[in-house]
Amino acid sequence: MNITNKTLKKIFPFISKNIPSGANIIVGCSGGADSTALAILLFLYSIEKNINIKLVYVNHNLRDTDYINNEKKYVKNLAKKYKLKYNSTEITKNEFKNNHKSSVENTARILRFDKLSNEAKKFNAKNIFLGHTSTDKAETILFNIIRGTGLKGLEGITKLTTKKINTKNYFIMRPLLEIERVTTEKICKENGFVPLHDKTNDDLKYTRNKIRKTIFPLLKEINPKVIQSILNLGSAAKETNESYELLVKTWYAKLVSIDTSNSKTIFKIKDINAFNQLTTKLKTEIIKNILNHISIPKQQITAKHIIKITELISLQGTKYYDLPNKVKFTKEYNMASFKYSDFKN
C-alpha cells in the first residue's frame, strides 16, 4: 500500500464521522504540498463516499502578480484533473488596510476565513477544509508559548472547530493534523504533482517562519523528535483542560442555583464558605460561567470585575457591587447573588 492510500485510510474515519454523504465542502488550496495532498485525498475519499468538492484559492495580494497567477493556474489545473469545482477570490488592498489591526499574519488569516466563508455560502457548504499538518500544530504550540499562553494555548489547533464568520457558523476541518509535512510532500510526488513553494514562507520577518526555519532546526539538534515532544505536550494539555472543565462543571452544579420565583431571575452561590475554599482559578471560572448566562456583552466584563467579585465574597458582612447592564451583585451571610431581569437560558 502506497503512502497515499495509507494516509487516506488513516483520515477516513474522521471525515466519514463528520461529513454526511452528498455534502458540499470547501477546500482552501494554495498550491503548496499540504493543500495539494488534502485535495488529492478528498478526491479519493469522494470516490468511495459521495461528496461535492470545491477548491478555493485566496489571493492575499501580498506577492508579485506573476507568482499569484502561477498559483491560481496550479490550483485550477489541480481541480480540472480531478473534475472538482474551483474558484479564486481575493483580499483587496483596501480590505487589508482597513482591517490591519494586528500582525500581517493574523490579519491575513482573519480575512482568508472571511473569503472562504463567502465561497462556502455560495456553494451551500457548512464545512471548510484546511491542509494543516502535525508540523503546523507543533509550530502553533511553540508560537503560543513564545507569545505567552495558558494551558488552552498549549492545545494548538484542533481537527474540528466551529467558527462563527459573518453571523453564520462553519465547521473548520483539519483532517491532516496527525500527518507530518514530509508525508504530504510524498503524496504529491506519488500522484505526479510538484507543489509550489511559497516564497513568503522563507521571509524571516514573519514569526512563524522564524520558528520553522530557525528555532526548530536548533531544537532538533537537542532533540531530533522535538516536534513529537511538543505534540505530546499539546495532548497532555488537552486532557488536563478537559478534566478541569469537568471539575468546573461539577462545582458549578454544586454551588450555583437559579431562583426564578420572583419577577427577576437570580443566580446564587449557595455556600460561600465552600466557594472560598476553592482555588483562585476555580472561583474565577465559576464566576465567569455565571456572568456568561447574564445579558451582559462579553466585552463589558473585565478581569477587574471578576477579581472584585471574588474579593467581596471573601470579606465579612454584607457587600454590594454594580456590574454592567444593571446587574446587581450582593454578598450577605453565606450566600452571594447576581440579580437581573433578563437572563439568557
Instruction: Please give the full DSSP string across 40-91, using - where no structure is assigned.
Output: HHHHHHHHHS--EEEEEEEE-S-S-HHHHHHHHHHHHHHHHHTT-EEEEEE-
235: cell is: 495532548
Helix (H, G, I), strand (E, B) or coil at 257: strand
For residues 211 and 217, the answer to whether their CB atoms sit within 8 Å is: no
- Give pLDDT, residue 1: 63
Q: Which of 40, 72, 69 is nearest to 56 (CA)?
A: 72
For residues 209 and 198, the answer to whether their CB atoms sit within 8 Å is: no
pLDDT band at 343, cuts 50/70/90? Answer: very low
- The span from the CA of 42 to the CA of 27, in Å, is 9
Q: Which of 321, 294, 299, 326 is nearest to 310 (CA)?
A: 321
Can you tell me which residue has the cell 488552552? Answer: 152
Mean pLDDT of 151-180: 93
For residues 220 and 226, the answer to whether their CB atoms sit within 8 Å is: yes
- The span from the CA of 314 to the CA of 279, in Å, is 12
Mean pLDDT of the chain: 91
For residues 238 and 155, the answer to whether their CB atoms sit within 8 Å is: yes
Helix (H) or strand (E) holding 154: none
- Give pLDDT, residue 344: 46
pLDDT in tens, 239-297: 999 999 999 999 999 999 988 776 677 899 999 999 999 999 999 999 999 988 886 77
pLDDT in tens, 126-165: 999 999 999 999 999 999 999 898 889 999 999 999 999 8
- Domains, the chain, with CATH or none: 3-222 (3.40.50.620), 246-340 (3.30.465.60)
Of 297 and 82, more confident? 82
Instruction: Answer whether residue 342 shows pLDDT above 80.
Output: no
Mean pLDDT of 87-112: 83
**Phi, psi dihedral angles at 160 (to 5 degrees):** -135, 120
Q: What are the angstrom distances between the C-alpha of 91 and each of 60, 110, 116, 200, 268?
A: 5, 11, 11, 17, 48
